Each structure stands twice: as structure tokens, then as C-alpha cells.
Amino acid sequence: MKSLLKTAAIYIALGGAIWGLIALVSPARGEIVGQAVGDTFKQTIEIIVAVFIFIGLFQVWVPPKTIAKFLGKESGWKGLILASTVPLGIGGSLFTILPLVQTLLEKGARIGVAGAFITAWAGKLPLLPLEIHFLGWKFALVRLGLLVSSAVIIGLSLEKMMERRGKR
């Protein structure tokens, strides 16, 4: 919690400093920055609040740990297909997802599953409202479809590469 506040303060201070510096050097440009910040904020605050609520609900109703337990046991194609769809619902950044995938491997999942899992996780379903809002539903759907269908390829290639090097 404390480190959370600290990071928050750093970002706000950093943003404020850049803005302040610009306004100091060139007030006209500082005004442009201020306007951009205000406009974007007004345009996005509603959707952002909604997404934050989504993320919270996802987290408790579909806890990542349960997903990991569930996936560790599955093998073969079923495991790969699950690994390229299930992670779509998980939030967080690489900092939180990598440790999760590591527990997956510890529970006996194959490398292909781990690779597919990380790739598919970038589908970011909880953020879908944001993506549609900013980039349109066409972009969101195409990106999602391509990513999900290529997750298995990444997983299997990664597995092959690891095995080949391991035998030498």
C-alpha cells in the first residue's frame, strides 16, 4: 500500500514537473498541455471508472490463482487451447503475470502452455471497453482474433526452441 502511494506520488510529481517546466518556459505551450490534459480527462473519466470496476469484479469472481491451478493439470491440445483463451480475462501487467505463469510451470504445465498463456493474456478482455473507445471495435476485434489464434504458435515454437537447446 505504501509503495503504491509512493509510485503514485512519483508519477504525479513527474507529470506536474514536466507541465510546470513547459509552462515556465513557454506559457502558451503550457496552456496547450493543460488543455490536452483536461480534455482527455473529461473524455475518458467515465469509461476509466467503469473499467476499474470491471477489473475489480473480474479479480474476485475469476481469481487468477484458481485459473492457474486449473490450467496446470490440463495437458495436450486441451491445455494449449485453454491457455490461449482463459488468460484473456486476467488483468495486471507483466509484473503480476510472470509470477503467475511460473506457478503454472511449477504445477506441471508444459512450456507451450506457459508461452501461449503469456501471449493470450495480452488480449486484455477487462480493458476491452477502453480499447473500443479509443481505437474502435474493428481494431479491437481483429487484434483479439489474431492474438488468440497465434498464442498456440508462440507457445509451441517456444517449447521446441527450449527442447532443442536443452538436448545439446
Q: Shortest approach of other proteins to residue 18 CB, angstroms?
A: 5
Looking at 24, 27, 60, 78, which residue binds other proteins (CB under 8 A)? 60
Q: Could you tell me how many residues of this chain bind other proteins (CB under 8 A)?
A: 76
Q: Which is nearer to other proteins, 41 or 70 (CB)?
A: 41
C-alpha cell at 106: 511449477
Site string for other proteins, 61-90 (x = CB under 8 A): x-----------------------------
CB contact at 8 A, 117 and 104 = yes
- Single-letter amino acid, residue 29: R
Rounded Cα–Cα distance for residues 71 and 87 (Å): 10
Looking at 75, 81, 125, 153, which residue binds other proteins (CB under 8 A)? 153
Query: First vs last Cα of the chain: how many Å apart?
Result: 46
- Residue 143 in the binding site for other proteins (CB under 8 A): yes
Rounded Cα–Cα distance for residues 153 and 101 (Å): 17
- Residue 59 in the binding site for other proteins (CB under 8 A): yes
CB contact at 8 A, 71 and 82 = yes
- Residue 163 in the binding site for other proteins (CB under 8 A): no
- Residue 54 in the binding site for other proteins (CB under 8 A): yes
Instruction: Show contacts with other proteins in window 100-139 (CB under 8 A).
Output: 101-102, 105, 111, 114-115, 118-119, 122, 124, 127, 130-131, 133-135, 138-139
CB contact at 8 A, 149 and 118 = no
- Residue 142 in the binding site for other proteins (CB under 8 A): yes
3 state DSSP class of 124: coil
